[in-house]
Structure 1
């Protein structure tokens, strides 16, 4: 099968299109014929091996798994032992190991039926970013009707879902984004939209600040909160050195949160069928809509990752995978 592989850590230049064997599903896994795959920041971290702590789980000297990609939408072609509820021919979406390929294996517990209202490309834009936003709004910030919520990076992959989910929860939402994304964030339902090139942070106080951009200090973000507000940190900036990068800010938030009145929450997301089904319900009732920036062919993965790292994507970029010959 065709797949995008890497044999060493590095920039997008280490990625190449190659022919490799089709993987076999193990216990609790399914084999999926990939029709589309989302491009997520996690792909960049695994490609570069940065920060270095990433390598503790994915290979110290070289990537343990050669194929990149996590988000996917496709068709089940085989199931491993112990899998129930999925059969060959089912259209699914979720996360797997190495989705920049014609086939990949995925845990059955991280897949769900593809929403009937979405194309494969739209569905592939949902799993990681949508579940991350769900965890931020529902679980970490615990957004309720009447809350005032500031979403930083509102036009990006996670931010675009965060705006919609906060609005669906009944919040008054302010979206902070770049000038080219203002109209999009308004269409997503933000009550107010602020251009960060003119205003670093609004002067209002918010019940929740959900930061998907990661380039502001904890002290600056805390000043945007009410005395009992919640700061949710999604990811982190790349200014903490090659060992920790943005994770140092997450660690400082954990240490500071118990001694201040505000809750500072480094987001920990877990993909699951249950979370995907919650998103499916919101998709099928029109409360959230995936934002696909553009689609790329499988051979275009390196360019898609370069665009992502440059911060130019609006919503999500998606890789389209042709049917195997």
Structure 2
């Protein structure tokens, strides 16, 4: 929904996915590629090979390089990882580009984790860039498209670890650590 609905991604666009090695990011990279975009993934050193393997055209290891310091500007930035200021994100965004903030962050002075996304939505009418926050909703059309892309081999779910139902507390703790490469699966 962040790529198709909020940003209306087009073939040939330059897309930056921040958090490209996580559970949502691994899907975002593959979806952007399936839509014909030129995709750059931002992730940690541990995840760079994974992000390349799922189709990213370029990978930036955020522990070694700041994507905003590169001369390249992106048509679309999908920020899944959070934590970077709007001004920092906008530096890497084309003057007419679109920023989509996905999810919430921990804490937040006023809005418990959606402060930055709300600031983006309030600033957007006053700048040339489109600054959006994603509020996802379940719908049949998106699920059918995902099913077709999976069946057609365009996207493949990335599973980091599998936990049994009795290990749910450990799975949650693992996820909270923020270092999962792809999805964490709970089995019976």
**TM-score calculated relative to the size of structure 2:** 0.96
Report deviation, 1:312: 1.7
Aligned counterparts of 2:145 and 2:107: Cα–Cα separation in 1: 35
Larger radius of gyration: 1
Aligned counterparts of 2:79 and 2:54: Cα–Cα separation in 1: 17
What is the root-mean-square deviation in Å for CA atoms of aligned residues?
A: 1.1
Aligned counterparts of 2:83 and 2:174: Cα–Cα separation in 1: 18
SS of residue paired to 2:24? helix
2:63 is matched with 197
1:276 is matched with 143
Describe the shift of the 1:216–1:239 C-alpha distance in structure 2 as closer, same or farther (beyond 3 A): farther
Alpha carbons 1:215, 1:236 under 8 Å: kept: no
Aligned counterparts of 2:17 and 2:112: Cα–Cα separation in 1: 22
Q: For 1:1-325, what aligned pairs fall within 5 Å after superposition?
A: 135-202=1-68, 203=70, 204-241=72-109, 244-321=111-188
For structure 1, the 5+ residue unaligned runs are 1-134
Aligned counterparts of 2:7 and 2:166: Cα–Cα separation in 1: 39
Aligned counterparts of 2:128 and 2:140: Cα–Cα separation in 1: 34
Aligned counterparts of 1:181 and 1:320: Cα–Cα separation in 2: 24
SS of residue paired to 1:228? strand
For structure 2, the 5+ residue unaligned runs are none
* Post-superposition CA distance 1:93-131 (Å, at most 9, x none): xxxxxxxxxxxxxxxxxxxxxxxxxxxxxxxxxxxxxxx
1:7 is matched with none
Please list every run of at least 4 consecutive aligned residues from structure 1 whose deviation after the TM superposition is greater than 3 angstroms. none
Report deviation, 1:273: 2.3
Aligned counterparts of 2:142 and 2:86: Cα–Cα separation in 1: 29
Report deviation, 1:142: 1.0
Aligned counterparts of 1:227 and 1:320: Cα–Cα separation in 2: 46
Number of residue-to-residue matches in the alignment: 186
Aligned counterparts of 2:179 and 2:76: Cα–Cα separation in 1: 26
